[in-house]
Structure 1
């Protein structure tokens, strides 16, 4: 499977405006849209019991299912007020239905298309799944949405609306500086056309690390594994947990952990590096290294290492040398 995505019908589109009621009235009285409901949400800047997001949901003139959501921020600190101030009023996102959001996400990752979160937001009660594609290619966000029997067209849960909104934070940084790659894409991933059942055992074997990472000097002593470094060996444990594999390096009382989540898709699986434990000031470098390593992992698993460029192999060797000479973990 490859791009382009197989999109379903338009699900909805959202406007961010200064006065949601006035904009909704124009749509109703001039354009023939029909009111569905008013939905208020707290995305995190209002006190408990309060709201920072006002949504007028209107049905399109020729549809009972398709809607426009007209959004207004209710506090100065809300992400919606800040977005309006930085980008002005207008279309915030256009949402399309997809049959399988995990497969769609895997194709986007394989094509180098960024999203504002590492995985879709799932509403625990309805099963509704949503994720934003980054706004750089188009000037607005594109939303992919997988609906469920409990979340029919035109229905949005407060939890997902708040969660999606908060994935936009990196787009609201000061314009005086460039947003780093690590802030835009904190959890690198790779779509692999091999089943999770095949990929997981490969990742669980520490002796496979030299085939796709900069960690090349791995050895086994009895039942334990170590990584040889210039300034002393490190202990290495590989643990199957949390839907994937965790690599834990240790020396004395210090620990370093990197988790790879392995999610099955229709085409194979999606491997995502979860970097919650990596300090923010070190994240940009880690993202850069893991993006390359995951790319090579995909090539190894799909038996196409000849597709990896010489430049990428040289970069991996440079990572190995830096790791080998590193003091500490």
Structure 2
């Protein structure tokens, strides 16, 4: 789940304001007063809340029907644990969690800023400089997430908050710790075996195969395509058709930033082992400049231009000033 208008859209392109399965919106959970609904997702609803000291927080409530299942309470605890393992600079910090409450909840810091999905929908694709900044910030976040031993598995525009201090990656609801590789028995939840958002899934996710940090790198490329063009990397339409294109076709890069195109193409290779790691992406991003046009081949220098360049080296090799007669290039 995500948090729009300061804590994101539940699913890219979906209406996150739809009513939840509960009858009335709650006004209090634990010691937290709820002010308004921010968004909803598969596991529940996110509210803007106030803690006992008067500070704003984001409150994630599990859906009442799911709260009856011990597995989903455990998932909420796992989400909190995963988020706490990640460096705080790149995500919304977890402040509190209660999986034993009548309606379990997770409390995080409230990030006052739109999601990337909202920003692109509201004002169009990012500029070249903004796109480079986003690329570096997302790569930095992925390095921190992977360093913590976590695979996010659902990196998408609605899970990236544009705070005043830079982008933050949120929503570790389906993230998986690298040290707990056991596959969830999703049939028990009545859910599809493909976990993630189809528009940004890696091919191995689309095929229902085990995923690694390489899936996050693939999604990184897809998010940049969306941010730079306003379009999904493999178009829209039905989920089966979308996943087929993800597995079998290259992403649509028409109109995308030329300087970032090679990195995105490498990040979105079909075979996970062929993709660069986040650290490799970061190192290569440091060598790019958003304000420089692509290099244009220059014509070879003429004889007179070469002469002008090397004349000082021949006529003044040690700083002395030779007379005209000593200049071998003088006609």
TM-score range, shorter chain: 0.3 to 0.5
Which structure is higher in helix share?
2
Which structure is higher in strand share?
1
In our comparison, the structure showing a higher alpha carbon Rg is 2
